[in-house]
Structure 1
C-alpha cells in the first residue's frame, strides 16, 4: 500500500493532478497555503468541471499558527425573486428543478470566498493574483485532457443535461460525450479568468462580469439579477468545534452539514472503541451517523431560520444522551432522507505552518448545466436543495440552502494539525469519520487511512439506493457480522467513486508535512 508523501517546505493534496501541481508551484514560489489554494481552486474548476466550477460555492477552514482557526463561507444566497410564490407562478409547487435556468437560483459564492481567504494570509499576500490564476488560464485556453471520471459521469447524466442552454456546446464533442483523453478547450472560461486576474475578483460581483452574467441569467429564465450579485459577500466566522479524546475538531457552520461530521466523531468517541476496521469500529460510526443525520434532516438549514445554534448540538451533555441511544450490537432501522452532491476537497500546508482545508462544488454533476456562452461559466444548482414547504430549509429570498459541503480541520493533542475532507454528498461526514478515526485515533498512516476500504450509508453522488454500501475489500467475516446485526449491506466495487475522493494534509510539531490523496480520484499528494 502506498504511504503518505512527506516534506518540510509545503504539501498539497487534490483530486486532480493539475490542481496539485498548481498549488505546489505557488508554494515553491514562496506563496502561502491560502494563495496556493486559490491557484488550485481556479485550476480544478477548469480540469474537473463535472465536480466544481467558478459558478459554484466554496468553504474554507484556515489554521494560522498562534491563532484560532477561521471559517470562510462562500455560500451563495437565493435570488431576491426566488420565493415559493414566484416558483408557483412558474408552475412549480412540489420540488425545485435540478437542471436548467430555474435551477440556477443562487449566486455563485466561491470567488467571494477566495477574496476573503486571501485577506487571511498570515504574512499578507506574497504573489500577484495574475500569478495565482495563470495555471488555470493556460489550461482553459490550451485544453485539458478529459478524465475517465468526467467522461463516464457525462455519459451517465447526459439525458438531463444535453438540452440545457450552453451545455452541449461546452462539454460535448460534435454532440457526443467526449472520450477520456479528449482535449477540452474552454477559451471563454480562460478569458473570464484572465479578466479576473486583471480587474480583480470583485469584478465577478460588481463589475463587467456581474453585468454579463445577470443579463444572461435573466434572458435564460433564471430569477437571478444583477442586484443579487452586487449585494453578495462571503462570510468569515469562528468554525463549529468540539473536543474529543484525540483533540479538538473544527468544521463549517450551517447551512453546511459540518455539525453532523463533528457529531459523528464525538458520539463514536464515547463508545470506547480501540481497534480499527473491526465490527465495533464500523458499526459504531454507522450508528453515530444515523443519529447525527436524523437531527440534521429535521433541523439544519439557513442559520437565520434554525430553532437554535448548531454549536448547541455539540453540548457534551446532549451528546452523552445521544450516545446512550446507540445499540452497540444491533443496527437502528434505516433509511432517512439522503442529501446528494458533487464536490472537490483540497488541502494545503506551507512552511510557515498555515494549513488550509477547502471544498468547492456545483452540487450535482455540472450543476444546473446552464453555461453562459460569453464567459464559459456554468452555474450551480445548489438552490435545488431548498424545500418548498415550511421549515429551516424553505426557499426564501436571499436565504442560504442546505449544503453537504464541510471542510474539516483538527488540532490533535500531540501537536499535529490535520486538514481532511472529501467529495460525496451524504458520504462526506462518513468518509471524514473513517479517515479521522483510522489516522488520529487508531494510529494508521494518513495514506493508509484514505486508501483503506470505505463504507457509505444511504444515497450519495451518482447513486439511488439507501443501503449500507461496503467496498469489496473488507474482511468477509466483518461483512457477515454487520449483516447479522441488521445492516442492509450492499457490496460495491473496490476503489469506487461512491466512496468519495478524499485527501488529507497534516503538519507535525517538528514542521514535517504529511500529505495523502485518494487512489479513487485523478489526484496527487505532493510534499517537498
Structure 2
C-alpha cells in the first residue's frame, strides 16, 4: 500500500525538501520559479504557472532554451494524465541527397541545415488554450518585463554561457552567425555572473507571441522573418513548414515499477529508454543502495535499453516496431537475462517487425505539470533571427544520413528526441512530476532518481543529490567526481571502463514535486547541480 512517509526517510542531503499546500513551482532558475508562483497567487492554475515559468526561462536561461526550440509536457488535470508533444519535423525541402550534395557525410550540429520546425511557442498556446485559466498576455508578461528591464545573470548560466561563447568565437565565423553575437555577446564576451543583461528583441517577440497566441510565429511577421533569413543563407526551413505545424496531444506510456506507475511520453522522445530499463529491473531485489551490484545492474539495464532505443526510436509514424512490444514483460525478461556479473557490450534485441530546462508545477486544486523545453545543446544551432532573439535549435542533427537507419532523415519527419518529462502515479492517483535535463543522460537519471526513492526510500532531495553515473558507449561509464572510489573500483573489476568526470556539468539537473495522497501536502526539490529554486505557497 502506498505510504507517503516511506519516501521521506532521512538521508544526507545538501538541501532540504520544501513543503507547501496551495501551490509550488520548482525549476533551474530562482527568478523563473518565482514567476510561476506569482501566477498561482494571481488566480492562475498549475498550467498557467508552468507556461509563465517556461517563458521566463527563455529569457533568464537563454543558453538552454529558446523560442526556436521544442517543448514536451505531461499534465495531470481532471483526474487523468495528458501528454503534449510539441516537437517539429524536418523541413519539406530537405533530404539525404540535398544534405550530401553540400558535402556532408553526417548531419552537421550547427548552422542552418539541422534546424527543424520549432514547437515551443505553439506548446505554450496549446497548453493555455486547453487547460489555462489566465490570458496568455498576462501569463507571458513577467518574461517580457525581464527581457525589457534586464536581470542579473545567475552563476550556472554565466558558466555555461562563457563555455559556449568560447567555442562559438572560434568555430562560428561565418556571416550567418553574426546575429548570435549581436544578441548574446553585445560587449564582445559572455555576460558574467551577477551582471545585468537585457534583450529588447526577446521582449518584442514574446509580446507578439502573447498577443497572437503564437500565430505570428507560424503564420505572421515572425514566420516571414525566419523564412527570409533561411532563404538569404541557403537554409531549408520555410514559412510553409512553419504554417503547417501543430503540436500533438498524445497518450502517455508507462510501466508499473514495484507498485508505482512511471509515466513518460511516447516516441519520438527517449522516455521509452527509461521505461525499458525499469521494466528489466523491476524483478531485481535491490535493497542496498551502496552495493556494487545495484549500480552494475542499473548500468547494464540502461545499456540494453539504449541499444534498442537508439536503433528503433524515431517519428512514431515511421517506427517499425511497436512501443507495446518494447515494453512487454516477455521482452523485458528476455533482455534482463542478458545481465550477468560482468559488463556487456550492448546490442539491440530482435523484435517482430510491426541544452534544456525542466520545470514542475502544482496547485492546491490537484493540477500538476511536468514540462521540459530545449533548443538542443547550449544555444542550439547558433542561428539567431535578426531583431527577434529567436535562437534556432539544431534538433535535426539527430538524424542519420544512412537510409537504412530507422531514424534516417526524411522531409517532414520528426527525429529521435532527447528531452523527456516524467510523472509518477500510485493506483491511478497523482504522486507528481519529475524531470532531469542533460541530453542522452536524461533516461539514465530518470532511472536512478526513481529507484533512489522507490527502492531505497530516499526523500526527493536526497534522490536528486545522490552522485550519478552515466553510460557513454560500449562498456564506458563516467562517474561524478564525488562518486565513491571503492564502488568505482568494484565496477572496474566487473569489466566496466570507468572514468571519473572533472565536474558534474554533464550529469543532468533536475526537479520534482511529490504529493501526499492522504493530506494533499506538496513536497518539492531542486538539483544542487544548478541555480535551482523551489517557490512555495
Please report the TM-score for the alignment, with normalisation by the length of structure 2.
Answer: 0.91
* Equivalent-residue separation in structure 1 for 2:211 and 2:139 (angstroms): 12
In 2 relative to 1, CA 130–414 (structure 1 residues): closer, same or farther, beyond 3 Å?
A: closer
Q: How does 1:146-295 map to 2 (within 5 A)?
A: 146-156=153-163, 157-158=167-168, 159-161=170-172, 163=174, 164-295=177-308
**Which residue in 2 is equivalent to 1:467?**
476
Could you tell me how far apart the structure 1 residues matched to 2:28 and 2:500 are? 24
Question: 1:274 aligns to what SS in structure 2?
Answer: coil
Task: Work out whether residues 335 and 466 of structure 1, in 8 Å CA contact, stay in contact via their aligned partners in 2.
Answer: no
2:425 corresponds in structure 1 to 411
In the TM superposition, residue 418 of structure 1 has moved relative to its aligned partner by: 2.2
1:425 Cα offset (Å): 0.9
Who is 2:491 aligned against?
Answer: 482
Query: Structure 1 regions of 5+ residues with no counterpart?
Result: 337-341, 460-464
CA apart distance, 1:189:
1.1
| Pairing 1:16-415 to 2, within 5 Å after superposition | 16-67=29-80, 69-92=81-104, 94-104=105-115, 106-121=116-131, 125-156=132-163, 157-158=167-168, 159-161=170-172, 163=174, 164-327=177-340, 329-333=341-345, 342-390=355-403, 391-413=405-427, 415=429
Q: CA RMSD in A?
A: 1.9
Partners of 1:246 and 1:441 within 8 A in 2: no
Q: Deviations over 1:259-295 (max 9, x none)?
A: 1011111212121212324222211111110000111
In structure 2, C-alpha distance between the alignment counterparts of 1:358 and 1:527, rounded to whole Å: 18
CA distance in 1 between counterparts of 2:106 and 2:279 reads 34
Does structure 2 conserve the Cα–Cα contact (< 8 Å) formed by 1:147 and 1:181? yes
Counterparts of 2:323 and 2:70 in 1: how far apart (Å)?
21
Residues 332-373 of structure 1: CA distance to partner in whole angstroms, max 9, x if unpaired?
Answer: 13699xxxxx21111111111111111101112101111111
1:10 to 7, 12, 23: 23
Shift, 1:170, TM fit = 1.0
Question: How is 1:429-444 mapped onto 2 (pairs within 5 angstroms)?
Answer: 429-444=443-458
Cα contact 1:271–1:323 (8 A) shared by 2: no
Shift of 1:232: 0.3
TM-score (norm 1): 0.92
> Is the partner of 1:456 in helix, strand or coil?
strand
Deviations 1:417-453, CA, capped at 9 Å, x for gaps? 1211111111101111111111123211101110111
Instruction: Give the Cα–Cα distance (whole angstroms) in 1 for the partners of residues 202 and 234 of structure 2.
Output: 22
1:503 paired to 2:511: yes
Matched residues, number: 510
